[in-house]
Structures are given as structure tokens and as C-alpha cells.
Amino acid sequence: MAKPSKKLAEEPGIGHNSQVSGTRIKSFVGKIERLEEQKHSIGLDIKDVYTEAKSAGFDAPTIRKLVSERKKSAEKRQEQYSLFELYSAAIGMA
Amino acid sequence: MAKPSKKLAEEPGIGHNSQVSGTRIKSFVGKIERLEEQKHSIGLDIKDVYTEAKSAGFDAPTIRKLVSERKKSAEKRQEQYSLFELYSAAIGMA
Amino acid sequence: MAKPSKKLAEEPGIGHNSQVSGTRIKSFVGKIERLEEQKHSIGLDIKDVYTEAKSAGFDAPTIRKLVSERKKSAEKRQEQYSLFELYSAAIGMA
Amino acid sequence: MAKPSKKLAEEPGIGHNSQVSGTRIKSFVGKIERLEEQKHSIGLDIKDVYTEAKSAGFDAPTIRKLVSERKKSAEKRQEQYSLFELYSAAIGMA
DNA sequence: TGCATATTACACACCC
DNA sequence: GGGTGTGTAATATGCA
């Protein structure tokens, strides 16, 4: 995948590829576009799951928060919480 | 995937699920986490391609810009139609 | 851009303005653009304040959260909190 | 506005402000809330203009699209320069 | 510091 | 005509 060259070198690999290989660039761009499409597609799937959860009577933002909190390390979460508490207390918020 | 329910309803679907089904939530959270992991993984693959391109002597930011521009062009093209429709509708054309 | 016609009825007020007044549209667009610019500018000012807070040794995201929480009505805040707690407990999160 | 301190420093600026100054935080929060109120207010003004346009017989979504397109065009134009710079740099031009 | 992602808010369209 | 759902645009945060 990394070195498909068969014949003579299409690009010298020198400096900034002054004689640019359009073929090679197209290949990279194509790969990236395919991957980005897949990525986007999965994003849609995730959205679907939230929709499904909502249909089942759950609150989507809360689920989202749940996922987010689980992703954070426990320490980090605790740290953020403490900080918020500290500031809240400082300005007299309940 | 959308309707896995086999037995009796675990949650009544009333209001905000006062008796919350942990099982159900876990299922949603699990699905989402799996999908997000896949999504993240693809992100890494994309990064790999950029790295590969760089190794081949290409300038990654430029490739990135190329991809971005192509995406915009595609969107723009696809937008032409809806834009036309919008304006048509606005002036009272069916 | 479309047709800045000078004479004849500028806007009949009938239906969808089949004979569109470019002058009038320009006026609306101009107003909106000016307002949006102001809005954007204020956005930058807000960002500045966060930067300033950060420079003073405060944690910007926490300040942000503080502002956000204050904006929400107390009931709403409590509701969200309860919901999160409920779901967390349901899936066995501490 | 940036340095309201009169007497001795209320917070040492060390780490994350372990002894948090509620006064200072309140000041930041207050500023932000004022600015956000202004921002919100301008948002309402913008909405008013759209309503006004609609009353004059224009189609709001179309006007909105117009504004959006103009903004994009402006960005695009401004981008030309940096794009040129980018490509220039990529092929080794100073 | 800029880029990419993730969340939130808004506006439009449909349905009741 | 009001409310809901959906899709899109602005905003914010985290990362490289």
C-alpha cells in the first residue's frame, strides 16, 4: 500500500515534489475521501441510536452526557466537579 | 437492531421512564460507544494516510486543503439544485 | 445581483413579489449583515473575557459552565441533574 | 477593566486559585452575562428584520440564503490568498 | 495556535 | 395556528 511503484519512480521524493505526480495525489485523496465517507456514515448511525433511544422514552442529551462522562477518566471527572463546586461556592451559588 | 424487544416491555414508555431500565440504557450506551470507537479508528486511518503522503514527499496540509475544497465543490454543486428550487418557490413557481 | 430595477412599483406587497425590488432586498440584507457583524464582534469580546479569566488563573470551561448553569432555571437544572443521576444509577455508575 | 485590583492580591495566581476569589469570578461572570445579553438582543433584532422583510412580501428563507451565500463568497475570496500562499509554500516558493 | 470534533441552539416544515 | 421533529449552522472543547 505504501510503495506500489513498479516502473520508474514517478516522484523523486526530493524536497517538495516539484514534479508532482497527479496519479499519486489522486490515490491519496481517494483513500481519504472513502474513509471520510465511512466516518460520516458512522456518525449517522450514532445519530440513529440517539433517535432510537428517544423513541424509547429516554432523554437523548442525558444519554449523551453519560457517554461523555464514561469517556473521561474518573480523576478528571472528579477534578472538574470539584472545581465547579469551588467556583460556585465562591460566588454564592447553591 | 431497531426492535429487539422479545418479551414484555421493560419500560412503560410513559413520561421519562420513571422506572429506568438500566439494561436498556446500557444497550444504547454500548452501541454508541462501539460506534464511536469505530469512528475514532477511522479517524486514525485517515491520519495514517496523511502520514503516508508526507513520507512520499507530499505536503499534508495541502492535501488536506485539496480534500476540503473538493468537498465544498461537491456541496456547492448539490446545492445548486435546491437553491434553484428555493428561489423558484420564492417567486411563486411550482 | 438579480435586477436592481429603478422605476415601476418597487414592491406590490402582493403574493411573493414577482417583480422584486432589488433596492428593498439590499436594504434588508444590509441591515442583517450589519447586525450579524455586531453579534460576531460581541462574540469576540466574550472570548476575550474568558481569555482574561484564564490569564488570571481561572479555568475557563468551569466559568463557562457556571454561566450556563445560571442561565438555566433552577428547576430545569435540578431536573437534568436528577435525570443524570437516575440513569447513572441504572447502569451502575458511581 | 482588566485590572480592578485596589488593595492586595486576592488570589495569588498560583495553580488553580486554591483560595478562590468570589469577587473576581463574579466580575467575570457578570461581564460575560452582560455581553451575552447584548448578543442575544441583537439576535432578536435580526429576527425582527426577517419578520419585517416577510411583512413586505419577501420570503425569509431566501433572504437568509442570500445573506449566507454572500458570507461564503466573502470567505472564499479571503481564502484565495491563503490558498495561494499554501500552494506556493508547498512547491517550495518563498 | 489552528484544526477537527462534539454539543448546542435555531429555523424551517409538517402535522395536529 | 401552535407544537414537534428534523436538519442545519454556530459555538466550544480537545488535540496535535
| pLDDT tens column, D3-18 | 444 444 444 444 455 5
Q: What is the pTM of this model?
A: 0.82
Burial zone of A28 (CB within 10 Å; 0-12 exposed, 13-18 middle, 19+ buried): buried
What number is the average pLDDT over the span B48-76?
Answer: 93
C16, C20, C87 member nearest B25 (Cβ): C87
* Three-class secondary structure of residue A91 per DSSP: coil
Contact A28, B53 (CB under 8 A): yes
Task: Give the residue on C whose Cα is nearest the Cα of B25.
Answer: C91
- Residues 15-34 of chain C in contact with strand F via CB under 7 angstroms: none
The reported pLDDT for the residue numbered B13 is 43
Inter-chain Cβ pairs, chain C and chain D, closer than 8 A:
95
Contacts of C18 in chain B (CB under 8 A): 91-92
Contacts of D28 in chain A (CB under 8 A): none
List the B19 CA – E3 C1' distance (angstroms): 43
Distance CA D17, CA C62 (A): 13
* Three-class secondary structure of residue C8 per DSSP: coil
| pLDDT tens column, A38-66 | 999 999 999 999 999 999 999 999 999 99
The reported pLDDT for the residue numbered A5 is 47
Q: What's phi and psi for C93, nearest 5 deg?
A: -85, 145
| pLDDT tens column, D41-85 | 999 999 999 999 999 999 999 999 999 999 999 988 888 888 888
Nearest nucleotide by C1' position to the C64 CA atom: F12
Residues contacting residue A11 through CB under 8 Å, at least 6 positions apart? A17, A19, A20, A21, A24, B56, B57
D15, D45, D56 member nearest C13 (Cβ): D56
pLDDT band at C17 (very low <50, low <70, confident <90, very high): low
Contact B22 C86 (CB under 8 A): no
Torsion of the alpha carbons at D73, D75, D80 and D83, rounded to the nearest 10: -140
- Residues 46-85 of chain D in contact with strand E via CB under 7 angstroms: 46-47, 50, 60-61, 64
Q: Which residue has the cell 437544572?
A: C77
Contacts of A58 in chain C (CB under 8 A): 87
CA distances from C65 to C8, C32, C59 (A): 55, 30, 10
Distance CA D19, CA D16 (A): 9
